[in-house]
Chain A
Amino acid sequence: MAKIIVDVMPKPEILDPQGKAITGSLARLGYSGLSVRQGKRFEIEVDGEITPERLEQATQAADSLLANTTIENYVVRVDQ
């Protein structure tokens, strides 16, 4: 089945406590010089072909529900 992927990330300027914790944890494990931000990935299964209309539909879903655009950015793409 065809899939659309929506990646949601906290905006760069917004604090990401979870990412910060993971970064600290990695450093303690010896993985220095890595900086993590934690986001979400949504996999949306689509009936039939992925058309521009479908993509537009997913974008609207991302904008209204999947992401909170006050604090998060999103990217909509087709799963390859």
Chain B
Amino acid sequence: MSVDTVANAKATPQVQQPWAELGLKADEYESIKQILGRRPTSCELAMYSVMWSEHCSYKSSKVHLARFGQLEKTTPRGPLLAGIGEQAGVVDVGQGWAVTFKAESHNHPSYVEPYQGAATGVGGIVRDILAMGARPVASMDSLRFGKLDAPDTARVLPGIVAGVGGYGNCLGLPNIGGEVVFDDCYYGNPLVNALSVGVLRHEDLHLAFARGTGNKVILYGATTGGDGIGGASVLASETFDADGPAKRPSVQVGDPFMEKLLIECTLELFQAGIINGIQDLGAAGISCATSELASAGDGGMHIDLDLVPLRDNTLTPEEILMSESQERMACVVEPANLGKFFEICAKWEVLATVIGEVTEGDRLIIDWHGETVVDVDPHTVAHEGPVYQRPLTRPAWQDTLIADSTDKLPRPQTGIELADQFLAVVTSPNQADKSWVTDQYDRYVRGNTALAQPQDSGMLRIDEATGLGVALATDANARFTMLDPFVGAELSLCEAYRNVAVTGAEPVAITDCLNFGSPEDPEVMWQFSQAIDGLIKGCQALGTPVTGGNVSFYNRTGEVNIMPTPLVGMLGVIDDVRQRVKAGFRAEGDLIALVGPATPGTGGIDGSAWAQVVHGHLGGKPPQPDYAAEQGLAKLMIQAAKDKLLASAHDLSDGGLAVALAESAILGGLGAQVALAGDDFEELFNERPARALLSFDPEKRDVLTSLANAHGLSLQVIGRVTSIEEISVAGSFSVSLVDLTRAWRNTIPAALGIGGQD
């Protein structure tokens, strides 16, 4: 077996290399040769190909993401401590505390192997948070599947849910919320977006650097195996003898126990103050960690690849560089601190190995069996990948879609018909109870969960003495985004903002996870660009900066792209979690009110859950966002929570008032009698933004009304909470709360069975 050394690469410039099989384009391969002044060695080719992939280099999205740079780096609570470019953004939440949060997609691996794909998705994002020096304290997961009754959903969903739970539960991280959405467009391409949140003191913030000549580079955690390097076998076949390499798995397998040890060990290393630079190993493994660490520092780096502890001795150097084995971290440590470092690792039974050191100069040099196989400028690997200005085209069908409004769809003609449609929407898969999923997650561990699903946002106590806490919500409205990607992204942002606000927290910053189809399709790139601009406009209006994010392209089944799905994760801050407001009605006799813009908007039936559930229809125009009203609503909610004016609050979003009313009643176990001004159908099902359903003691009515008016909102009392177990809409219908609750709870178990594996 021969190794392709740098010397060999210089001597044999004409050798044919499998750059195309590794996903590189001809001009990308040419620019690698230009950078190096020779052909790359097969190890270098491995590194460039993974680091210049869409997934690692953001080559199609970079020019668009750059526009986020125009946003202020300030939240309503002060400047960001770290922003885009770090592994995760860091937000000052006050009292010396900082919070870091980020979402990441693991869509394709979760389709191939649902359990491991989802599990390693959780593991990866948790290590991102850990690398910031923060203790991971909670997770959330936004999951999207094909139709609930589709055969493949029965395979993919239970596996993904078990994977999210199996990994997250074993790490001891409460899972405090997320979404479960069903739509035909995700059939064959489920979306698994995992969000992790971590907490640290300001003084403990750590960024990845590798400075100081002579400092050691340490790889610690799990050993390196053949995980996730299916693609690299092309290279192996070049360098192996006739008998060829063993088949490499393209699936990574997670070990949450190892990750739990890695978390505790890393936090103790931080505490000891002996980490100079740190990087988690995710996609692109050692290629990424070494090039990122080296290019972030002020020196070069020398790595001896023979020192990497292997789980599989047949791995080639190319494969070691590309391996995506999980539960590994790399860091830079001063020689004087090595003893302490190994002592802490030994305590946690974590394997740690010095694999190289920081050197003079600016080259990343990697040796294998005493010969140099990589000699590159690490910056060219990590940060100077190709950047594409891909063509954009507004789809020709967009106007047809917009013209196809819901105006022509038949409305319910009788109270009975309206009642049937109310039941159908409330108990439809997207609106029905998600306990089947969320009960497989531990929401209580660590003892700081102040709110979890099915509440509008998850909420965590950060400081046990003062009650300081954070709230988090994730939302994407792909249907609105399909109709108008700009407005749909704005509305997704508004929904996340509102979900945080109705619990009494102040929305402060977002992270995003942008799931789109193929970037090589100009129509998808147009959707993407529009969505970015929509988010920028919204973030400017709401004063919430983007702290970081993730892009997932190539989400499609065959030639059909998914609906554009820009997920927004909103972080909020609450001064005392004891003031939080829950969604369920609390007491008989309380008034029920709808709060929203003083001048009601229009539309809201196009793209609604009603249109989807009752007519299987998607077309028309989404409603317009109302930023002033969203901000007014947030201010009202924060004040009302502080002054304990509310018994409950629930945002209006998918399914409109119908779903908010039903959920408030079901969660509280109390009925509701309401009378609606205007057309009952429109009132129940329109999905106009900036509105919430409140309940409160009648004595609080006047003070809440003037508070709402002071924030430019109208508060309209529509009824009363009752102990009669029914929801009645005066003049139209009443439905039994018992029947409604049973049906709402039964939708998902009926489709998937109790344990889901039968």
Residues of chain A at the chain B interface (Cβ within 8 Å): 21, 24-25, 28
Q: Which of B732-758 contact A (CB under 8 A)?
A: 755, 757-758
Determine the residue in chain B with the shortest Cβ distance to A28. Answer: B758
Inter-chain contacts of B757 with A (CB < 8 A): 21, 25
Q: How far is the CA of A28 from the CA of B755 in the complex (A)?
A: 16
Q: How far is the CA of A24 from the CA of B757 in the complex (A)?
A: 10
Q: How far is the CA of A49 from the CA of B515 in the complex (A)?
A: 58
The minimal Cβ–Cβ distance linking B115 to chain A, given in whole angstroms, is: 15
Inter-chain contacts of B755 with A (CB < 8 A): 21
Question: What would be 7 A-B contacts, judged by CB atoms less than 8 Å apart?
Answer: A21-B755, A21-B757, A21-B758, A24-B758, A25-B757, A25-B758, A28-B758
Inter-chain contacts of A28 with B (CB < 8 A): 758
Determine the residue in chain A with the shortest Cβ distance to B758. Answer: A24
Determine the residue in chain A with the shortest Cβ distance to B755. Answer: A21
The minimal Cβ–Cβ distance linking A45 to chain B, given in whole angstroms, is: 15
Inter-chain contacts of A24 with B (CB < 8 A): 758
Inter-chain contacts of B758 with A (CB < 8 A): 21, 24-25, 28
The minimal Cβ–Cβ distance linking B105 to chain A, given in whole angstroms, is: 31
4 tightest A-B contacts by CB? A21-B757, A24-B758, A21-B758, A25-B758
Residues of chain B at the chain A interface (Cβ within 8 Å): 755, 757-758
Q: How far is the CA of A51 from the CA of B477 in the complex (A)?
A: 67
Inter-chain contacts of A21 with B (CB < 8 A): 755, 757-758
Q: How far is the CA of A21 from the CA of B755 in the complex (A)?
A: 10
The minimal Cβ–Cβ distance linking A13 to chain B, given in whole angstroms, is: 23
The minimal Cβ–Cβ distance linking A15 to chain B, given in whole angstroms, is: 14
The minimal Cβ–Cβ distance linking B627 to chain A, given in whole angstroms, is: 51
The minimal Cβ–Cβ distance linking B439 to chain A, given in whole angstroms, is: 17
Q: How far is the CA of A25 from the CA of B757 in the complex (A)?
A: 8
Q: How far is the CA of A24 from the CA of B758 in the complex (A)?
A: 7
Inter-chain contacts of A25 with B (CB < 8 A): 757-758
The minimal Cβ–Cβ distance linking A31 to chain B, given in whole angstroms, is: 15
Q: How far is the CA of A24 from the CA of B755 in the complex (A)?
A: 13
Q: How far is the CA of A36 from the CA of B755 in the complex (A)?
A: 18
The minimal Cβ–Cβ distance linking B436 to chain A, given in whole angstroms, is: 17
Q: How far is the CA of A21 from the CA of B754 in the complex (A)?
A: 12
Q: How far is the CA of A21 from the CA of B158 in the complex (A)?
A: 14
Q: How far is the CA of A3 from the CA of B68 in the complex (A)?
A: 60
The minimal Cβ–Cβ distance linking B602 to chain A, given in whole angstroms, is: 51
The minimal Cβ–Cβ distance linking A54 to chain B, given in whole angstroms, is: 26
The minimal Cβ–Cβ distance linking A72 to chain B, given in whole angstroms, is: 22
Determine the residue in chain B with the shortest Cβ distance to A24. Answer: B758
Determine the residue in chain B with the shortest Cβ distance to A22. Answer: B757
Q: How far is the CA of A28 from the CA of B757 in the complex (A)?
A: 12
Q: How far is the CA of A25 from the CA of B755 in the complex (A)?
A: 13
The minimal Cβ–Cβ distance linking A25 to chain B, given in whole angstroms, is: 7
Q: How far is the CA of A55 from the CA of B191 in the complex (A)?
A: 50
Determine the residue in chain B with the shortest Cβ distance to A17. Answer: B755
The minimal Cβ–Cβ distance linking B644 to chain A, given in whole angstroms, is: 47
The minimal Cβ–Cβ distance linking A17 to chain B, given in whole angstroms, is: 9
The minimal Cβ–Cβ distance linking A1 to chain B, given in whole angstroms, is: 15
The minimal Cβ–Cβ distance linking A28 to chain B, given in whole angstroms, is: 8
Q: How far is the CA of A37 from the CA of B80 in the complex (A)?
A: 56
Q: How far is the CA of A25 from the CA of B756 in the complex (A)?
A: 12
The minimal Cβ–Cβ distance linking A18 to chain B, given in whole angstroms, is: 9
Q: How far is the CA of A28 from the CA of B758 in the complex (A)?
A: 9
The minimal Cβ–Cβ distance linking B173 to chain A, given in whole angstroms, is: 26
The minimal Cβ–Cβ distance linking B509 to chain A, given in whole angstroms, is: 44
Q: How far is the CA of A19 from the CA of B443 in the complex (A)?
A: 29
Q: How far is the CA of A32 from the CA of B620 in the complex (A)?
A: 52
Q: How far is the CA of A70 from the CA of B757 in the complex (A)?
A: 27
The minimal Cβ–Cβ distance linking A68 to chain B, given in whole angstroms, is: 19
The minimal Cβ–Cβ distance linking B162 to chain A, given in whole angstroms, is: 13
Determine the residue in chain A with the shortest Cβ distance to B757. Answer: A21
Q: How far is the CA of A8 from the CA of B632 in the complex (A)?
A: 64
The minimal Cβ–Cβ distance linking B60 to chain A, given in whole angstroms, is: 42
Determine the residue in chain B with the shortest Cβ distance to A21. Answer: B757
Q: How far is the CA of A13 from the CA of B758 in the complex (A)?
A: 23
The minimal Cβ–Cβ distance linking B80 to chain A, given in whole angstroms, is: 48
Q: How far is the CA of A25 from the CA of B758 in the complex (A)?
A: 6
The minimal Cβ–Cβ distance linking A55 to chain B, given in whole angstroms, is: 29
The minimal Cβ–Cβ distance linking B311 to chain A, given in whole angstroms, is: 16
Q: How far is the CA of A28 from the CA of B154 in the complex (A)?
A: 15
Q: How far is the CA of A65 from the CA of B758 in the complex (A)?
A: 32
Q: How far is the CA of A17 from the CA of B755 in the complex (A)?
A: 11
Q: How far is the CA of A68 from the CA of B755 in the complex (A)?
A: 26
Q: How far is the CA of A12 from the CA of B757 in the complex (A)?
A: 23
The minimal Cβ–Cβ distance linking B265 to chain A, given in whole angstroms, is: 25
The minimal Cβ–Cβ distance linking B752 to chain A, given in whole angstroms, is: 14
Determine the residue in chain B with the shortest Cβ distance to A18. Answer: B757
Q: How far is the CA of A25 from the CA of B155 in the complex (A)?
A: 13
The minimal Cβ–Cβ distance linking B754 to chain A, given in whole angstroms, is: 11
Q: How far is the CA of A67 from the CA of B269 in the complex (A)?
A: 37
Q: How far is the CA of A21 from the CA of B757 in the complex (A)?
A: 8
The minimal Cβ–Cβ distance linking B137 to chain A, given in whole angstroms, is: 33
The minimal Cβ–Cβ distance linking A30 to chain B, given in whole angstroms, is: 15
The minimal Cβ–Cβ distance linking A34 to chain B, given in whole angstroms, is: 16
Q: How far is the CA of A21 from the CA of B756 in the complex (A)?
A: 11
Q: How far is the CA of A21 from the CA of B758 in the complex (A)?
A: 7
Q: How far is the CA of A21 from the CA of B753 in the complex (A)?
A: 12
Q: How far is the CA of A33 from the CA of B757 in the complex (A)?
A: 20
The minimal Cβ–Cβ distance linking B6 to chain A, given in whole angstroms, is: 39
The minimal Cβ–Cβ distance linking B97 to chain A, given in whole angstroms, is: 44
The minimal Cβ–Cβ distance linking A32 to chain B, given in whole angstroms, is: 16
